A = this chain, B = another copy of it.
Amino acid sequence: MEKNSFKTDYRIIYGDTDRLGIVYHANHFRFFEIGRTEFFRNLNITYKEIEDKKIFMPVAEAGCKYINPIHYDDLIIIETSIDTEYKKGLAFLYEIISEDKKTIHAKGFTKHAFINAEHKVIRPPEFIKNLKRDLFH
């Protein structure tokens, strides 16, 4: 199961915050992107390499629960895993936690479509099926 979860971190800058003094809610989805990019890299697949094969994975659905605010200069940990219960394609789950791991800041998900260079929807490619199989068996 170790392989199914990957942690990376990110330091909050002024540009991530809003006038309430906390991270603007849309930016959590940027952090999720950092999480899934590093998740792939950790498996020795870069998202860029996937795209070099003319397979793109735009976000088809995304959601986030904001549990505890994130503040300026916080070092957050983004924990990314594949949603094993999602059968129709590829979905990721995310948790943003504090540096000391005592606070859960947010939980979220993204579901992805697969499209080709002409932006047509295609079936999940083999390597994604293999990836899910390898991670869970």
Contact = CB atoms under 8 A, between A and B. Distances in A.
Chain A contact residues, majority secondary structure = mixed
A56 interface: yes
A86 B1 CA distance: 37
Contacts of A30: 13, 15, 26
Interface residues of A, number: 37
Given A47-B73, A48-B73, A11 B24 contact: no
A37 B15 CA distance: 12
A21 B66 CA distance: 21
A125 interface: no
Contacts of A14: 18-20, 24, 33
Contact of A58 (B22, B27, B29, B59): B22
B46 A73 contact: yes
Interface of A: 11, 13-15, 17-22, 24-27, 29-30, 33-34, 37, 46-48, 56, 58-66, 69, 72-73, 110, 119
9 contacts: A14-B18, A15-B26, A19-B20, A20-B56, A22-B58, A26-B27, A37-B73, A58-B66, A61-B66
